[in-house]
């Protein structure tokens, strides 16, 4: 980072004060982050980070010096500090849970902690209730999503299950109808057993959402983009609708990650990530996280996490902390590859339709880019033929056939037979989730190799 002298900005005044005490000979730190330029007497003052004026205060400060101080104060009042980017946060996160300043977060692989006395348990007593390694990960994830607190669970589904326990018997959950298959199974086969009413709606249709939300609605649950059909929901407006009825809003943001979208900033109360996906990024750990706004809500969810024993183990937290360091780089490369692959597929004569918010023809593209920084690296497409789709999935060399997404390795699947197989066929068909749908999660390989691989698989398939 370079320092910027204030002399050019205040040249006319500075010359007159150069031999005086105070600003002429004092100290002004000048390396800061700034959101917008600040103009003073026609000169542009570009400052970075937080501005602190360390000048020698002279009891006999003359009028000219006083005028300069007033000018600087007026100028600085307009300055808004800018948060560092995600990539910078990931590399410079201060781990306040490590007293020794270790460059790599220590692994506290312990089930229990020694107490100083029989009546004082200290900060930690039992890892189910808390652990320094988990606290480090949760603190970082809360910062990335701009939440008040984050809670890490043994899986994304464990995290989502905890949220459903905020809803009481007789109350309602309004949920999207195009969501992850595991979430669908939880909402359709498990949650109703507690006497909770679950309403399924197309969350990209605001009228349908508004009609479903009522006095008994406790939770509105959505994805944007949806998995796997990439439908876009207006998070801001849905949050306004829900909050008008005192309902909470949960956004499953696994498909984008905190690099591309921060739903809490759009009005959501809870953001869930399957940490297994883009956050950890290497298909080597199972984890989920809830990032929340509001201390009361955070306490309620922590109580559930502790009571149900669903907190993430220290070693898994450590694996996540190791993987997350490269998240911004990975997501950027994956998205770059995905955009090129989506454009290739959209122009292929044997592909009927491509679902990807980054394509110009996507119906929700403008809305999506008003609430996210990019379209991510998960997309789906239809061939119009189950036989052709099966051939494509089984013929590619560089796309591994597997559920999940967000890995550095490119993955391919047929959701109707894999991630969404638990949804009854008739329900899938009614929702537009057809058997020929192929979902791909684009990795960090050379994009030309990936395109060539897909092209060969598509062209050699049955007619």
pLDDT at residue 73 in the model: 52
Mean pLDDT of 171-179: 97
Q: Is residue 252 annotated as part of the catalytic site, yes or no? A: yes
How high does pLDDT run on average in the chain? 88
Residue 44: per-residue pLDDT: 44
Residue 326's pLDDT band (cuts 50, 70, 90) = very high
Band (209; pLDDT cuts 50, 70, 90): very high
Task: Catalytic residue, from 134, 149, 200, 277: name it.
Answer: 277
The residue ranges of every structural domain in the chain are: 11-77, 86-110+125-325, 328-459
Decide which of 395 and 82 is more confident: 395
Choose the catalytic residue: 234, 252, 436, 453: 252
Q: Residue 191 and residue 203: Cα distance in Å, rounded?
A: 20
Query: Domain 328-459 class?
Result: alpha beta
333 is catalytic: no
Q: Catalytic residue among 49, 64, 128, 185, which?
A: 128
Per-residue pLDDT, averaged over 159-188, amounts to 97
- The CATH code of domain 86-110+125-325 reads 3.40.640.10
**Rounded CA separation 134/108 (Å):** 9
**Residue 100 known to be catalytic:** no
- State mean pLDDT over 296-322: 99
Determine whether 459 is an active site residue.
no
Residue-wise pLDDT for 235-274, tens only, equals 999 999 999 999 999 999 999 999 999 999 999 999 999 9
Go through the chain and tell me how many residues it has.
463
Q: For residue 54, what pLDDT is reported?
A: 42
Q: What is the pLDDT of residue 94?
A: 86
Residue among 124, 180, 302, 356 flagged as catalytic: 180
Q: What is the mean pLDDT of residues 35-61?
A: 41
């Amino acid at each position: 980072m370079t320092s910027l002298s204030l002399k050019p900005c205040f040249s006319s005044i500075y010359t007159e004060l150069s031999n005086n005490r105070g600003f002429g000979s004092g100290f002004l730190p000048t390396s800061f982050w700034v959101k917008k330029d600040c103009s003073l007497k026609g000169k542009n003052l570009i400052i970075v980070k937080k501005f602190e004026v360390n000048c020698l205060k002279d009891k006999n400060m003359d009028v000219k010096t006083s005028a300069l101080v007033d000018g600087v104060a007026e100028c600085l009042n307009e300055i808004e500090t800018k948060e560092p980017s995600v990539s910078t946060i990931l590399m410079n996160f201060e781990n306040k849970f490590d007293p020794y300043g270790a460059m790599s977060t220590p692994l506290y692989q312990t089930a229990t902690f020694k107490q100083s006395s029989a009546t004082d348990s200290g900060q930690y007593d039992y890892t189910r209730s808390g652990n320094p390694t988990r606290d480090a990960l949760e603190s970082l994830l809360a910062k990335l999503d701009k939440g008040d607190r984050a809670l890490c669970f043994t899986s994304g589904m464990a995290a989502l299950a905890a949220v459903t326990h905020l809803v009481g018997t007789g109350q309602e959950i309004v949920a999207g109808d195009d969501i992850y298959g595991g979430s669908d199974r939880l909402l359709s086969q498990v949650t109703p057993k507690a006497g909770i009413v679950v309403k399924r709606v197309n969350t990209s249709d605001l009228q349908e959402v508004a009609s479903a939300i009522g006095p008994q609605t406790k939770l509105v649950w959505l994805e944007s983009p949806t998995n796997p059909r990439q439908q876009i929901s207006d998070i801001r407006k849905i949050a306004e609708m829900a909050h008008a009825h005192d309902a909470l809003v949960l956004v499953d943001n696994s498909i984008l990650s905190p690099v591309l979208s921060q739903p809490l900033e759009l009005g959501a109360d809870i953001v869930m990530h399957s940490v297994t996906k883009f956050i950890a990024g290497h298909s080597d750990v199972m984890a989920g996280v809830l990032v929340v706004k509001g201390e009361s809500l955070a306490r309620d969810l922590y109580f559930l996490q502790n009571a149900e024993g669903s907190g993430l183990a220290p070693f898994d937290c450590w694996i996540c902390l190791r993987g997350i360091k490269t998240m911004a780089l990975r997501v950027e490369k994956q998205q770059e590859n995905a955009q090129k692959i989506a454009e290739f597929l959209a122009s292929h004569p044997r592909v009927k339709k491509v679902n990807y918010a980054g394509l110009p023809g996507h119906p929700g593209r403008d809305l999506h880019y008003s609430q996210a920084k990019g379209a991510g690296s998960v997309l789906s497409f239809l061939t119009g033929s189950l036989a052709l789709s099966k051939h494509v999935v089984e013929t590619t060399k560089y796309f591994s056939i597997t559920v999940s997404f967000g890995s550095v390795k490119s993955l391919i699947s047929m959701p109707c037979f894999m991630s969404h197989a638990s949804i009854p066929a008739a329900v899938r068909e009614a929702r537009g989730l057809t058997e020929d749908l192929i979902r791909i999660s684009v990795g960090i390989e050379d994009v030309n190799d990936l395109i060539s691989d897909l092209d060969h698989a598509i062209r050699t398939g049955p007619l």
